[in-house]
Amino acid sequence: MASRRGSSTWQGSARGDPIWDLWPDAAMTGPWETVDAGSLGGVTPGGAPRSAKGSPMAARLVRWLRRHRGRVALVGLTGAAAVLLAIVALRPTATPSTPPPAGQPSFTYETSWTFPELTRALGSGEVVAISVAAPDSALMGPGGTESAAGLLVAKTTNGSLVPVRAGVPTDQAIDALRALGYDRLLTREALDAQAGTPADGSAPNAYLALGLTLLVTGLFVVIMMRLYRPRSAEDGSRWRSVGGGRREDGAEGYRPKVRLADVAGVDEAKLELTETIEFLRAPARFAAVGAKPVRGVLLYGPPGTGKTMLAKAVAAEASVPFFAASGSDFVEKFVGVGASRIRSLFRSARKAGKGVVFIDEIDAIAKRRGGLNSHDEREQTLNQLLVELDGFGPNENVVVIGATNRLDVLDAALLRPGRFGRKVHVPLPDKEDRLEILTVHADGKPLAGTVDLAAVARKTYGFSGAMLADLLNEAAILCARDDRAEIGPDDVQRGWLKVAVGSSRVRSMDERERSIIAAHEAGHAVCGLLVGERRRVEEISLYQHGDALGITVSSSEDNDLPAESDLRARLVALMGGRVAEELLFSEVTGGASNDFEQATSLATTMVSRLGMGRDPEDRERGATGRGVLSAFVVGDGHEGREALPTDVGAAQARASRAILDEAYARARELLLERMDLLGAVAAYLYEQERMTGDDLEAIHAGALGPADPYGWRHVSAKPRAWEDIGPLFTTTPKIELVAPAGPALPVLDRRRPGRSNRLRRAIPRPVHRILREIVRRIEVEGPAPTDGEDTAPST
C-alpha cells in the first residue's frame, strides 16, 4: 500500500493509512515485539504471514492502546474483555535475546550521520521522520555524549534507518531540531525522550496505568458485590447483623444495670412484671403446679413513661441477658431480610438459655395486616415474629417484651393469649408519682433548701417521666451556666418553662408592640385568675417562645374528668387576650390567632364528643335539655362525621359558635368589671417584661403594683381614652358562665300545617328569634307590672 510518507505494505492496516502512523510504536522502539492478544491476533509488517487467529481490527486496537498507554486505565470500566485487553497491551516486555523470527524486517545501521549531516538531509527532504531508539554503545563509541534516554535515529525516504551522532545529549539535539522547525517529523518516542521518559518500553507510567487499572477494577467489583448482595433470607443474615447498625452487644445480649428501684412512678406496672421476674428466676416452681408462664408482655402508654427502663429492670432483677432491638431494625426493602433478622435475634436468645428479648416500637412491624400501608416484607416479618412467639420449648426460659404507644394499630393475632397475652399499661404519672420521679432525678444534684419539689410536682400535670428528668437537667444546666454552686427555685422555674413551652428568646420590639403584647397577656392572666378555680397562672412573659410573641402559662390540678364549667372557664381565659386589646386600644391585632384556634378546637370537642352543646335554634329540648345534639357524638378526628345528617352538622356548628360567643362576652364582662386590675397587671408586665403567678396574686391583693399605672400605653398603639371604656360596660349584656336551662317552649304540631305554621313560615327568621325570646322572658319573669303597682328594687 502506498503512503504519502513512504512506501511499504503492512498486513492488518486499512487502505489509505499512513505507514508511519503504525511505525513508531513498533519498529522504532527497538527490537520488534510480538504482542500475543489471544483471539485479537498479531500484527505483522512487510507482507509477513499473520496468525490464523489474527484480526486487522484487533491489531489496530492493540496499537492504539500501546500508543495511549498511561491514559487507558479507565477502559476497564466498560467490561471484563476491555480490562484484560488493557492489561495485555500495557504489559512491559523485555528485549528478546533470540533473533527476530522469519518474516520480520531486520533493521541494520549501514552508516551514521553527524548533526550537520542530519540538517542537510532534512533540508533536501531525504528524512521523513526522526525518532529515538535504544542506545547502542558499539555505535556510540567511546566518549559518546548521548544520554541514557536513547539514540537519535532518522528514517529516510527509501526506508533506511540512520543513527545520528549529534555530539550532544539527545534531548538537547531534539530541542535544536524543534528550534529549526522540524516538529512535524518528531515521533512520540522523540518527544518522550525530550521529556525524560526511557525509550526501552519499560516506562514507569505503564506500571502506574496497570496499577490504576487493577485498583479501579477492584473497586468496581466491591461496589457490585455491595449493590447486588444476596437477597435470600438465609444469605441476607450474613451480610448485616441483627440491629442494623446498633451496638454489637444487642445481638449477643448484655446485662443492664437498671433496677426496679430506679424506675419511679409506675408501681402498678412493676407489680404486674413481678411474676415475670419470678419465672425467670425459678421456672421450676411454676412447672411444679402446672402453670404456664406468660412469655409475652406488651407495655403500652404515652412516650417517655419508662417502658424501656421497665424492660431493662426485668432483665437486671432476674440476672438474665437482655436482647434489645427496635421495630425499625427489621424493616428493609428486600423481602425476607426482616424475617431473617427476627430468626437471628431469637436464635441468640435461645442459645443463651435464659433472657429477655425487648422489641421497642413494635408497631413498626406489627401493624394490622391488610391495610393500605401493608406490604409483603412487613407481613412476612410479622408472620415470622408470630411463629417465634409460639416456638418456645418447655426448657427455653425466654420472655419477650414489646413496647408501643399505638396499641390501637397492632394486629389482633399478636395480642391473643399465648403471644402478647399480658398487656401492661404505663400511664402518665399523677402528682404523687411525679414527686417520686423528681426525687429520684434530684439525687446527685445540689438543690437549694428553698426548692419545693412538691410545688413542682403540682404544676407539672401532664408531664411524663422523661420530661420531669429533662426539667431538672435544664435547671442544672442553667445553674452551671451562671457558675453557681446550688440550683435555686428560679432555675427550676426556668427549666419548667423551657420544657413546657420551649426556649425563650429576647427580641427587640418597639413601644407599640410592647404595649399591645403586655395588654394581651394581662387579659389572659386576669381572666384566668378570676375564673380559673382549678387552674393557676404560673408565668407571664413578653419574651418570645417559638412563634408566640408573648406567653401566659397556666398549670392545672390533676383533673382527668373535667366539668363543663372548667372547660368554659378555659375558653374565657383564651378569649381574654383579644378582649383586652379591644377594650384598651382602638384597633385589634392578629396576635389572638392561636387563641382562637385553641378555643374553636375545644368548643368543637365539647359539642361533638362530650355532648355539652345545644343548638340555640332547636326548639325541641329533649330529655337532656340539649335537643338533637345530645344523641349525636362522634369519636376522635373525622371518624363518623360523614354519617351524620346534614342538619345535625349544621346544628353542631351553631352550638360551637354559641359557646364561643358566650365565652367572649363573659371575658369582656370580667375585664370591664376589673379594669383596675387589668391596667395594673399590664403596666407591671410592661415594666418588668416577666412576672410569676405569685406576682399576679400580689397585685390582685394590693401588695404589689407598677411604678406608673397609666403611662404604659404608647401613643403609637392608638390607646382608647380611659373615660371612653366605661360606656362599653352599659352596652355589654351580662351572660352567665353556664346558662340555666329554661322551661321547654310549646311545640307546634308539624303534622297538620295549620294557620300557626303558615304564619311562622311567613315571619322572617330574625324576627321570629326576637319574638321567641320575648315569650321566654314573659314565661320566666312574668308580665311587666302596670302603673300603680309596687315594684321591688332589682338587685
Residues 612 and 713 grouped into a single domain = yes
What mean pLDDT do residues 314-343 have? 86
Does 736 map to a domain?
no
Does 537 map to a domain?
yes
What mean pLDDT do residues 273-301 have? 87
User: Could you tell me the three cell numbers for 630?
Assistant: 345530645
Q: So what's the pLDDT on residue 516?
A: 94
Q: Which helix (H) or strand (E) holds 357?
A: strand 354-360
Residues 324 and 442 grouped into a single domain = no
Per-residue buried b or exposed e for 268-289, using 16+ beta carbons within 10 Å of the residue's own CB? ebbebbeebbebbeebeeeeee
- Residue 112 banded pLDDT, cuts 50, 70, 90: confident
Could you tell me how many residues make up the chain?
795
- In contact, 577 and 591? CB cutoff 8 Å: yes
Per-residue pLDDT tens over the stretch 730-769: 554 444 444 444 443 343 333 344 444 444 455 566 666 6
Compute the distance between CA of residue 132 and CA of residue 240 in angstroms, rounded to an integer: 58
Residues 493 and 514 grouped into a single domain = no
Helix (H, G, I), strand (E, B) or coil at 143: coil
Residues 662 and 580 grouped into a single domain = yes
pTM (two decimals): 0.60
773 is catalytic: no
- Residue 297 banded pLDDT, cuts 50, 70, 90: very high
Q: So what's the pLDDT on residue 70?
A: 42
Of 514, 477, 454, 544, give the one whose Cα is nearest residue 686.
514
Residues 439 and 394 grouped into a single domain = no
Q: What are phi and psi of 5, to 5 degrees?
A: -105, -5
Compute the distance between CA of residue 727 and CA of residue 675 in angstroms, rounded to an integer: 13
- Any idea which of 59-63, 182-186, 236-240, 780-784 has the lowest mean pLDDT? 236-240
- In contact, 19 and 47? CB cutoff 8 Å: no
Compute the distance between CA of residue 402 and CA of residue 422 in angstroms, rounded to an integer: 10
Q: Which residues pair with 692 in a beta bridge?
A: 539
Compute the distance between CA of residue 251 and CA of residue 325 in angstroms, rounded to an integer: 8
Residues 632 and 683 grouped into a single domain = yes
Of 501, 535, 553, which residue constitutes the final position of a domain?
501
Compute the distance between CA of residue 367 and CA of residue 80 in angstroms, rounded to an integer: 47
Does 53 map to a domain?
no
Of 195, 229, 262, which residue constitutes the final position of a domain?
195
Q: Could you say which of 272, 361, 513, 521 is catalytic?
A: 521
Domain of 417: which CATH number?
3.40.50.300
Q: So what's the pLDDT on residue 167?
A: 77
Of 452, 450, 491, give the one whose Cα is nearest residue 474.
491
Does 615 map to a domain?
yes
Round the average pLDDT of the chain to a whole number and report it.
74
Residues 534 and 646 grouped into a single domain = yes
Residues 627 and 699 grouped into a single domain = yes
Compute the distance between CA of residue 292 and CA of residue 699 in angstroms, rounded to an integer: 65
Residues 441 and 406 grouped into a single domain = no
Interhelix angle 56-67/80-90, nearest 10 degrees = 60
Does 39 map to a domain?
no
Per-residue pLDDT tens over the stretch 215-266: 998 898 888 877 766 544 444 444 443 334 444 444 567 889 999 988 988 8
Q: Which domain holds residue 458?
A: 431-501
DSSP 746: P
Domain of 663: which CATH number?
1.20.58.760
Residues 182 and 273 grouped into a single domain = no
User: Could you tell me the three cell numbers for 442?
Assistant: 434530684
Per-residue pLDDT tens over the stretch 685-712: 999 999 999 999 999 998 998 988 888 9
Q: So what's the pLDDT on residue 374?
A: 62
Please report where in the chains the cell 408573648 appears, as a residue: 550
DSSP 606: H
Q: How far is CA 561 from the centre of its chain?
A: 36
- Any idea which of 150-164, 352-366, 512-526, 575-589 has the lowest mean pLDDT? 150-164
Secondary structure (DSSP) of 324-393: EEEGGGG--SSTTHHHHHHHHHHHHHHHHSEEEEEEESGGGT-BPTTSTT--HHHHHHHHHHHHHHH---
Helix (H, G, I), strand (E, B) or coil at 522: helix
Q: So what's the pLDDT on residue 418?
A: 84
Residues 576 and 704 grouped into a single domain = yes
Per-residue buried b or exposed e for 162-197, using 16+ beta carbons within 10 Å of the residue's own CB? bbbbbeebbbebbeebeeeebeebbbbbbebbbeeb
Does 216 map to a domain?
no
Alpha helices per DSSP H over 446-543? 453-458, 465-481, 489-501, 511-531
- Any idea which of 105-119, 365-379, 470-484 has the lowest mean pLDDT? 105-119
Per-residue pLDDT tens over the stretch 41-93: 333 333 333 443 445 555 555 555 555 444 443 333 334 344 344 444 444 43
Task: Tell me: pLDDT of 679 over 90.
Answer: yes
Compute the distance between CA of residue 152 and CA of residue 200 in angstroms, rounded to an integer: 13
The CA-based angle 728-729-732, given to 5 degrees, is: 85
Q: How many domains does the chain have?
A: 5
Task: Tell me: pLDDT of 548 over 70.
Answer: yes
Q: So what's the pLDDT on residue 730?
A: 55
Residues 608 and 575 grouped into a single domain = yes
Secondary structure (DSSP) of 536-597: EEEEEE-SEETTBSSEEEEEE---SS--HHHHHHHHHHHHHHHHHHHHHBSS--GGGHHHHH
- In contact, 603 and 597? CB cutoff 8 Å: no
Q: Alpha carbon of 497 to those of 145, 162, 430, 490, 692: distances in Å?
A: 90, 96, 19, 10, 11
Does 452 map to a domain?
yes
Of 464, 483, 501, which residue constitutes the final position of a domain?
501
Compute the distance between CA of residue 213 and CA of residue 206 in angstroms, rounded to an integer: 10
Of 322, 52, 30, give the one whose Cα is nearest residue 153.
30
Does 564 map to a domain?
yes
